[in-house]
Amino acid sequence: MPQLPQLAELSTATEPLTATVPRQLVHRAAVAETFLTGWRRTGPDLFGVSAQWPRAHQLHVSADRSAHEPLLVAETVRQCGALLAHTEYEVPLGHQFVLQELRLRTRPEHLAVGPVPAEPELAIAVFDIRRRAGRPHAIRYNADVRLGGARVATAHVAVSWTGPSVYRRLRGGRTPANVSALPLPPALPPEAVDRALPADVVLAPPDRPGRWQLRVDTAHPVFFDHPLDHVPGMLLLEAARQAAGAACAGERTPVSFHASFHRYAELDLPTWVEAETGADGEVTVVGRQVESPVFECRVGTVAR
């Protein structure tokens, strides 16, 4: 990338000057929600991606600012797929991405917040590149996430994308302008789902044991960083996180996720989130609309 003249003059800087990648490349409207800072090709379909994690964040850092949340890792890995698709696999801006599967395993002992923003490095291996008319339309990739040389997480993602005209046909004319979310139901107490703010609670009080209605707040600055015509995958993952925590009565902490997304979760239909806890502490979470599953997630937990 050409060096800007005014930056070239700053020869007294003791460390390299860095910035986030263009926010459009990771499908974010806010620079503050853009966590990637650079990328490079390291081999055939192999890439190194750099990131920076904030020391404080409304969702992705614990309320006491002591630890990065596992879903911060998930969002960072998700952004890698969008970045590489646009920059390395010829996907035009404006295409719509569909997250199909996400597997994430974290090591909480390496996710502590330090005295400066953390700068993880991710090794990305892309495979199973599916093409249509000679152009990629879906990929899978593995991510190895390291911080200071220590592995903090591993992940696997399957994602596909489609052009604007095909997406409009798939969505049957649904757009952010003509589809509205249902009125927000009351929220669970924040402490029941390990949240500090009521606005970040995505589950309503249960209508029966182990079942909650999803709260979809389209004004939320993280989940709805920009207008959408459906419930985003990261909100569904947060619902799985909160449901797992509530199902374990706050005695266990989520550390891994294996999520499959079956179809779009519509804004104007209620989404019911159900959780069942296994003997090994793994919680199976299913989100349904009109009795059909829209996503499933197995959440691994450890004792607090």
Q: pLDDT of 231-256, one tens digit each?
A: 999 999 999 999 999 999 889 999 99
Q: Which domain holds residue 126?
A: 15-168
Residue 225: inside a domain, yes or no? yes
**In residues, how long is the chain?**
304
Q: Do 238 and 260 have their domain in common? A: yes
CA distance 101 to 233: 10
Alpha-carbon dihedral angle through residues 118, 192, 240, 180, given to the nearest 10 degrees: -100
Residue 127: inside a domain, yes or no? yes
Looking at residue 16, what is its pLDDT?
58
69-128 pLDDT, tens per residue? Answer: 999 999 999 999 999 999 999 999 999 999 999 999 999 999 999 999 999 999 999 999
Query: In the chain, count of helices (H) and strands (E)?
Result: 4, 11
Q: Do 287 and 200 have their domain in common? A: yes
The whole-number average pLDDT for the span 151-160 is 98
22-49 pLDDT, tens per residue? Answer: 999 999 999 999 999 999 999 999 999 9
CA distance 206 to 184: 14
Residue 1: inside a domain, yes or no? no
Final residue before a domain boundary, out of 168, 183, 212: 168
Q: Do 162 and 179 have their domain in common? A: no
Both tokens assigned to 145: 């996430």
Residues 6+ apart with CB under 8 A from 104: 70, 73, 74, 77, 153, 154, 155, 256, 257, 258
CATH number for the domain that contains residue 52: 3.10.129.10
Residues 6+ apart with CB under 8 A from 35: 20, 26, 51, 52, 53, 72, 75, 76, 79
Q: Could you give the number of structural domains in the chain?
A: 2
**pLDDT higher than 50, residue 8:** no
CA distance 225 to 218: 9
Both tokens assigned to 8: 């070239």
Final residue before a domain boundary, out of 168, 202, 228: 168
Classify residue 76 as exposed, middle or buried by CB count within 10 Å of its CB (0-12, 13-18, 19+): buried
CA distance 180 to 200: 19
Q: Do 118 and 248 have their domain in common? A: no
Residue 6: inside a domain, yes or no? no
CA distance 117 to 138: 33
Q: Do 88 and 148 have their domain in common? A: yes
Q: Please report where in the chains the tokens 């596992």 appear, as a residue.
A: 70
Question: Edge-to-edge, what's the strand order for the sheet holding 36-43?
Answer: 36-43, 46-51, 121-132, 135-147, 150-162, 96-106, 252-261, 292-303, 283-289, 272-277, 211-213
Q: Do 126 and 53 have their domain in common? A: yes
Q: At what angle do helices 233-247 and 70-88 cross, to 10 degrees?
A: 160
Residue 105: inside a domain, yes or no? yes
The whole-number average pLDDT for the span 122-140 is 95
Both tokens assigned to 194: 């390990």
Looking at residue 15, what is its pLDDT?
54
